């Protein structure tokens, strides 16, 4: 039972929010400090370099996804429904804060990221794509999906559509995000 306020976690929460909102080059330690009513230097105590903070955020997001995936694996639902749950993650981003997903934010900033963050980004994206691929492949074997081409390609397609939609909706809202997910489903699930 933790009663102590976890400053480190708070820093990460706020920084992750800022990252999704403004991109890696669009926020500073000052922004975080002000939000927490602490001083700039205090953040350096937890994360000596901004790179450390960035890496920690990506790594945590990866673990969060893996935990989510484990929860989904336990559920007794069909593969199409699992893909649907995946789409719901993105829907949350759109509806709550018009935020971009972490992958998309990191990808557009990719060439400006320090090497360690680039590495973590690749791992993060791979983790998600591999999960999608696994679900698609298994679902196809059980005739719950029907699509041409490899599961890998299909995974890329799904991820692309969701990620792009989340971003576009930001500037053209309100536009039905559900319309995108419906098309993704129809593309894999015309069985």
Residues 6+ apart with CB under 8 A from 102: 16, 19, 20, 57, 58, 61, 124
Here's the x/- map for DNA, 46-85, by CB under 7 A: it reads as x-xxxx----------------------------------
Question: Peptide bond preceding 174: is omega within 30 degrees of 0, i.e. cis?
Answer: yes
**Does position 42 bind DNA by CB under 7 A?**
yes
Nearer Cβ to a second copy (28/42): 28
Q: Which helix (H) or strand (E) holds 46?
A: helix 40-46
Q: CB of 30: closest distance to DNA in angstroms? A: 4
**Which contacts of 37-40 are long-range, i.e. CB under 8 A and separated by 24 or more positions?**
38/7
Per CB under 8 A, the list member of 13, 23, 38, 44 interacting with a second copy is: 23
- Window 122 to 161, contacts with a second copy (CB under 8 A): 122, 125-126, 129, 148-150, 152-154, 156-157, 159-161
Q: How far is CA 35 from CA 4, 11, 19, 83, 99, in A?
A: 19, 9, 14, 36, 18
Q: CB of 5: closest distance to a second copy in angstroms? A: 28
**Rounded to an integer, what distance in angstroms lies between the CA atom of residue 180 and that of residue 87?**
10
- Window 49 to 78, contacts with a second copy (CB under 8 A): none
| Binding site residues, DNA, CB under 7 A | 7, 27-31, 37-42, 44-46, 48-51
């Amino acid at each position: 039972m933790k009663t102590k306020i976890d400053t480190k976690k708070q820093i990460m929460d706020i920084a992750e929010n800022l990252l999704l909102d403004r991109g890696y080059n669009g926020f500073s330690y000052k922004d975080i400090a002000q939000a927490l009513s602490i001083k700039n230097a205090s953040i350096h105590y937890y994360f000596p370099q901004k790179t450390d903070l960035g890496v920690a955020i990506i790594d945590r997001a990866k673990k969060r996804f893996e935990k989510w995936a484990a929860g989904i694996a336990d559920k007794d639902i069909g593969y199409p429904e699992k893909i649907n749950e995946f789409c719901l993650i993105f829907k949350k981003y759109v509806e709550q804060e018009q935020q971009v997903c972490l992958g998309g934010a990191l990808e557009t900033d990719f060439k400006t990221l320090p090497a360690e963050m680039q590495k973590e980004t690749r791992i993060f994206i791979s983790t998600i794509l591999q999960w999608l691929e696994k679900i698609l492949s298994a679902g196809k074997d059980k005739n719950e999906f029907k699509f041409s081409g490899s599961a890998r390609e299909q995974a890329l397609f799904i991820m692309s559509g969701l990620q792009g939609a989340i971003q576009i909706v930001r500037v053209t809202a309100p536009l039905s995000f559900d319309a995108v997910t419906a098309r993704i489903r129809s593309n894999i699930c015309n069985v």
